[in-house]
């Protein structure tokens, strides 16, 4: 039913018999139209019942002003795209089966109305539906084979009344059939015969009936004079494209004479002489066509393209261009014979010329050429262009875009052009000076100009300037009121004077981002900018003085500035600052109202530091060995919100400096590792709120230094204590563990004075004293109360690498109910471990090579590491595991005395085991 309805639509459109006629009268015509539908590869098609008005045509003058957004990546290309419609033969063989109608007829309208649509049809670029290949079965016409030729017929939105044909792979013996189609459907406006063999014969046979044709595309083959003469039979033809074809017989002139043609493209063709006589022609392209002479009689021509026409002489180009008084766009790039004389003649004859591409024309110097209407000028790879050419270019006061790439003799550019927006200067090996003045200049591309040493730019529109790797650039002058980003990376010759350009009053009042990476000649950087937000000085290895007064500065990069001696950040808007490794920095001043994090680690000779950061919460001054007490005192007073203070390896800090910590009411972490401290009283007195105290490798601390912790209740909020590699003795350690019940994490790694760790039942506790104080006398209380108050908070105990510890015993009567992790790794003299810990989850005894006795009563232990416990027997291990019912991971790798080949007995004793690591298991 659907097919029948569609065929009726065709009949109605063609003026066939009505619905009331008999099947016998309709059978012949219906069969023919069914064959046509199959040959076009369409499932449904019909002719519209009423004419719909096409949309308004687009502007005809494609040559007009160049776009404001210049395609910088296409620099060097004289023309962005050709006007060939994007139809390719391969497109029609892989289309979908639901493509739209094949040929849509239309009622004939006024010839004047159709002429008004000429320009609109030329620019239609909608993607055309793809057509089923011949020989494929259609869901509605299965079994029919029509594998003779390919034909694509589409319609564009807004032009439903017109047919658009794309023919390909058409054997010669089928041309008659195609001609018949053209005779039957005479309203077609678009015909693409690119790649069709003997297309000339087809057109010559059918052209008399294609009176509505507006666009014709031909490609390859031989097109004789007769073909171009017959074009007059198509009065509405506006666009003709011929590509990769041989024109004429090779000895005679080919003439294109058509009064309605608006656009003509003859691309990559071969001809001896070409004559174009088209009174309405506006666009002509002869790109890459090998003719020796061309004659033009086209008074309305505005766009002319001679690109890569190598055989055309200078005189031929001159005569052709000067014959077009309305010419506005001319492309003669890669026409090597063109001279300045030709340009001067064109300038006199074509006063409206606004776009000129003379790239790759070595005989052009552009001197004494006057083109006042020029808007877009491209002179890439013109060896004759020198600094003297700039005077002629400056005469083009309307110039907006200029490309001078690869002009090898150009030494300087000085232009004052009120409309210049874009300029490209790439690979100019002798180019030394650049001076540009334009209020609308918005894009500058300067690259690979190795001798450029002076740049001066004035613009109100420029927002980003990139001059990377200009090794000789030493002088920079900018007057750019809207400049935001500047990148001068690897400009090795820049001097300290460049800082004046980017400071307030230097000509860049809105500058936000400045990159001066690897500018190795900078020794003193002084910037005073109220607008700067981001600054990078990475790799400026010669810089010794940095002085920044940038209240809105948020990010600064100083990586690799390893010769910096003095630095001042007053004021800056930084929230954090990491000075990295500045081994020569001795004097530092910071005034940053928003800063919360400051890292000075690696500033080994820093002695004077004035830090005024009222919001600072973390200060890391590790390895600042010469930082003095007065600097610490001043910082503590000016930064009262510090919570984390790291003074590791600050060897010059003494009691006076530590006494100033009383100003830090929120101090929670204090790291005094690797210092020469002998007295911690200033810490105990000044920091009662301290939670973490690190005293690792404090070799001069005695047992009495910690008395206040376990005798006087100092630091009641302390939860973590690190005494690793210290000289603290056995007695002090035992007192700390028994009386400081608030400790959660204790590190005793590498303590050489620790011989045993035996937690007895004589723990200190009293209801009348602080919970971590051991009183001389204890009042009698009930056992439940003792258990409750004496419950230690210890969770993690680290004793890694304690060389002299031999015994660790935690019996059941002790109250380490929260202990979950014990690490005794690398304690090589440890012989006995006896633990009764109800909450222990992880126990590491790896590399305890003397371990012989292992007794465990740890019902929640899940991970037991016994790597390289060479003295441990398998019977001892089996006994220890019998009371570790939750164990999941056991590591007995390199334990030679645990030699059971299968571990079935261990799994019987400890059914929860999931993984056993052993050298006996592969």
**What pLDDT, on the 0 to 100 scale, is given for residue 53?**
42
Average pLDDT over all residues of the chain: 81
* pLDDT top residue among 120 and 517: 517
% of residues, the chain, pLDDT over 90: 63
Average pLDDT of 256-276? Answer: 94
User: How many angstroms separate the CA atoms of 572 and 552, rounded?
Assistant: 6
Instruction: Give the pair of three-digit tokens for residue 754.
Output: 């620790």
**What pLDDT, on the 0 to 100 scale, is given for residue 3?**
41
The pLDDT tens digits of the residues spanning 878-908 come to: 999 999 999 999 999 999 988 755 677 788 8
pTM of the predicted structure, to 2 decimals: 0.74
Delimit the domains of the chain by residue range: 755-760+791-921
* pLDDT top residue among 21 and 410: 410
CATH number attached to the domain at 755-760+791-921: 3.80.10
Answer whether residue 771 shows pLDDT above 80: no
Average pLDDT of 281-291? Answer: 95
- DSSP for 289-358, written as a single string: -B-SEEEEE-TT--EEE-TT-TT--HHHHHHHHHT-TT--EEE-TT-TT--HHHHHHHHHH-TT--EEE-
Closest residue by Cα to residue 163 from 83, 45, 84, 7: 45
Average pLDDT of 555-580? Answer: 94
Contact 881, 905 (CB under 8 A): no
* pLDDT top residue among 92 and 757: 757
**What pLDDT, on the 0 to 100 scale, is given for residue 785?**
39
Answer whether residue 295 shows pLDDT above 90: yes
- DSSP for 490-538, written as a single string: T-TT--TTHHHHTSTTSS-TT--EEE-TT-TT--EEEEE-SS--EEE-T
User: How many angstroms separate the CA atoms of 411 and 424, rounded?
Assistant: 15
Average pLDDT of 338-345? Answer: 95
Answer whether residue 142 shows pLDDT above 90: no
For the four alpha carbons of 357, 360, 363 and 367, in that order, the dihedral sign comes to positive
Closest residue by Cα to residue 672 from 652, 648, 690: 648
**What pLDDT, on the 0 to 100 scale, is given for residue 901?**
56
Instruction: Give the pair of three-digit tokens for residue 589.
Output: 């001043």
Average pLDDT of 284-311? Answer: 94
Which is it for strands 618-620 and 644-646: parallel, antiparallel or unpaired?
Answer: parallel
Contact 730, 723 (CB under 8 A): no
Distances (CA, A) of 436 to 413, 441, 661: 8, 9, 59
Distances (CA, A) of 503 to 498, 510, 512, 547: 9, 10, 11, 12
The pLDDT tens digits of the residues spanning 54-109 come to: 444 333 333 333 333 444 443 333 333 333 333 333 333 333 333 333 333 333 33
Query: Which of the four pLDDT bands, split at 50, 70 and 90, describes residue 220?
Result: confident
The pLDDT tens digits of the residues spanning 789-810 come to: 457 899 999 999 999 999 999 9
**Burial, 8: exposed, middle or buried (Cβ in 10 Å; 0-12, 13-18, 19+)?**
middle
Distances (CA, A) of 502 to 532, 552, 554, 717: 9, 14, 16, 51
% of residues, the chain, pLDDT over 70: 77
Contact 126, 89 (CB under 8 A): no
**Dihedral (Cα; 497, 500, 506, 511), 10-degree rounding:** 110
Query: Which of the four pLDDT bands, split at 50, 70 and 90, describes residue 534?
Result: very high
The pLDDT tens digits of the residues spanning 687-712 come to: 999 999 999 999 999 888 999 998 88
Residues composing the chain: 922
Average pLDDT of 838-860? Answer: 96
* pLDDT top residue among 828 and 211: 828
**What pLDDT, on the 0 to 100 scale, is given for residue 178?**
76
**What pLDDT, on the 0 to 100 scale, is given for residue 127?**
36
Query: Which of the four pLDDT bands, split at 50, 70 and 90, describes residue 496?
Result: very high
- DSSP for 58-104, written as a single string: PPS-TTSSPPSS--GGGTT-S-S--------GGGGGS--TT---S--
**What pLDDT, on the 0 to 100 scale, is given for residue 593?**
96
User: How many angstroms separate the CA atoms of 860 and 821, rounded?
Assistant: 11
Answer whether residue 30 shows pLDDT above 80: no
Neighbours of 108 (CB within 10 A): 12
């Amino acid at each position: 039913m659907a097919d029948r309805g569609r065929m009726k639509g065709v009949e109605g459109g063609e003026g066939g018999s009505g619905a009331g006629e008999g099947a016998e009268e309709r059978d012949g015509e219906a069969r023919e139209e069914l064959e046509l539908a199959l040959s076009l590869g369409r499932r449904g098609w019909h002719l519209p019942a009423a004419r719909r008005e096409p949309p308004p045509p687009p502007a005809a003058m494609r040559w007009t002003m160049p776009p404001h957004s210049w395609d910088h990546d296409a620099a060097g290309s004289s023309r962005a795209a050709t006007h060939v419609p994007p139809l390719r033969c391969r497109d029609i063989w892989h289309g979908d089966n639901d493509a739209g109608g094949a040929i849509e007829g239309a009622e004939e309208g006024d010839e004047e109305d159709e002429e008004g649509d000429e320009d609109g049809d030329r620019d239609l670029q909608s993607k055309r539906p793809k057509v089923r290949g011949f020989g494929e079965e259609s869901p509605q016409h299965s079994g029919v084979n029509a594998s003779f030729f390919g034909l694509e017929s589409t319609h564009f939105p807004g032009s439903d009344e017109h047919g658009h044909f794309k023919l390909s792979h058409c054997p010669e013996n089928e041309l008659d059939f195609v001609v018949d189609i053209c005779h039957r459907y005479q309203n077609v406006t678009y015909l693409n015969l690119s790649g069709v063999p003997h297309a000339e014969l087809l057109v010559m046979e059918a052209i008399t009936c294609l009176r509505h044709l507006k666009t014709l595309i031909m490609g390859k083959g031989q097109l004789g004079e007769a073909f171009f003469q017959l074009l007059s039979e198509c009065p509405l033809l506006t666009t003709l494209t011929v590509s990769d074809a041989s024109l004429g017989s090779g000895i005679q002139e080919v003439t294109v004479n058509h009064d309605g043609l608006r656009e003509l493209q003859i691309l990559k063709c071969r001809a001896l002489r070409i004559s174009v006589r088209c009174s309405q022609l506006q666009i002509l392209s002869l790109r890459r066509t090998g003719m020796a002479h061309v004659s033009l009689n086209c008074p309305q021509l505005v766009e002319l393209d001679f690109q890569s026409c190598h055989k055309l002489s200078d005189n031929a180009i001159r005569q052709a261009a000067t014959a077009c008084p309305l010419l506005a766009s001319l492309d003669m790039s890669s026409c090597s014979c063109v001279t300045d004389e030709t340009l001067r003649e064109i300038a006199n004859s074509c006063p409206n010329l606004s776009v000129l591409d003379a790239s790759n024309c070595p005989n052009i110097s552009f001197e004494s050429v006057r083109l006042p209407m020029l808007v877009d000028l491209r002179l890439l790879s013109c060896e004759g262009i020198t600094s003297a050419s700039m005077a002629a270019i400056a005469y083009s006061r309307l110039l907006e875009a200029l490309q001078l790439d690869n002009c090898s003799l150009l030494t300087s550019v000085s232009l004052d052009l009120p409309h210049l927006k874009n300029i490209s200067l790439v690979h100019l090996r002798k180019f030394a000076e650049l001076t540009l003045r334009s209020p609308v200049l918005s894009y500058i591309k300067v690259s690979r100009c190795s001798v450029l040493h002076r740049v001066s730019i004035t613009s109100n529109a420029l927002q980003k300037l990139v001059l990377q790797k200009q090794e000789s650039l030493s002088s920079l002058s900018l007057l750019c009121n809207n400049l935001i980003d500047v990148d001068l990376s690897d400009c090795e010759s820049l001097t300290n004077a460049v800082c004046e350009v980017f400071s307030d009053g230097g000509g860049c009042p809105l500058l936000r981002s400045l990159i001066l990476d690897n500018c190795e000649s900078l020794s003193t950087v002084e910037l005073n900018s109220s607008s700067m937000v981001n600054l990078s000085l990475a790799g400026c290895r010669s810089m010794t003085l940095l002085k920044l007064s940038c209240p809105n500065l948020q990010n600064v990069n100083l990586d690799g500035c390893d010769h910096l001696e003095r630095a001042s950040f007053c004021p800056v808007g930084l929230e954090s600052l990491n000075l990295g490794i500045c081994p020569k920095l001795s004097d530092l001043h910071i005034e940053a109202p928003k800063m919360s994090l400051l890292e000075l680690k690696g500033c080994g000779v820093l002695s004077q530091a004035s830090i005024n950061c009222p919001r600072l919460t973390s200060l890391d001054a590790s390895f600042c060995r010469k930082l003095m007490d007065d600097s610490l005192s001043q910082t503590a007073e000016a930064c009262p919100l510090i919570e984390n203070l790291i003074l590791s390896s600050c060897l010059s800090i003494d009691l006076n400096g530590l006494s100033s910590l009383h100003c830090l009411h929120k101090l929670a972490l204090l790291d005094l590792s690797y210092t020469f401290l002998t007295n911690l009283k200033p810490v105990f007195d000044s920091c009662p709120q301290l939670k973490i105290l690190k005293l690792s490798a404090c070799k001069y601390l005695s047992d009495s230094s910690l008395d206040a912790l376990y005798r006087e209740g100092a630091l009641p909020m302390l939860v973590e204590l690190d005494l690793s590699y210290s000289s603290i003795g056995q007695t002090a350690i035992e007192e700390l563990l028994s009386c400081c019940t608030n400790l959660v994490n204790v590190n005793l790694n590498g303590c050489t004075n620790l011989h045993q760790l035996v937690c007895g039942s004589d723990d200190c506790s009293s209801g009348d004293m602080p919970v971590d104080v051991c009183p001389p006398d204890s009042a009698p209380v009930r056992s439940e109360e003792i258990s409750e108050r004496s419950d230690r908070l210890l969770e993690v105990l680290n004793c890694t690498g304690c060389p002299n510890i031999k015994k660790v015993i935690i019996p059941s009567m002790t109250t380490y109910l929260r202990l979950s992790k014990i690490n005794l790794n690398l304690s090589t003299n440890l012989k006995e471990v006896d633990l009764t810990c109800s909450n222990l989850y992880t126990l590491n005894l790896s590399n305890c090579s003397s371990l012989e006795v292992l007794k465990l009563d740890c019902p929640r232990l899940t991970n037991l590491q016994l790597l390289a416990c060479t003295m441990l027997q398998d019977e001892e291990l089996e006994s220890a595991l019998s009371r570790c019912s939750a164990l999941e991971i056991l590591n007995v790798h390199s334990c030679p005395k645990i030699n059971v080949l299968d571990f079935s007995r261990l799994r019987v004793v400890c059914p929860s085991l999931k993984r056993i690591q052993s050298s006996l298991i592969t």
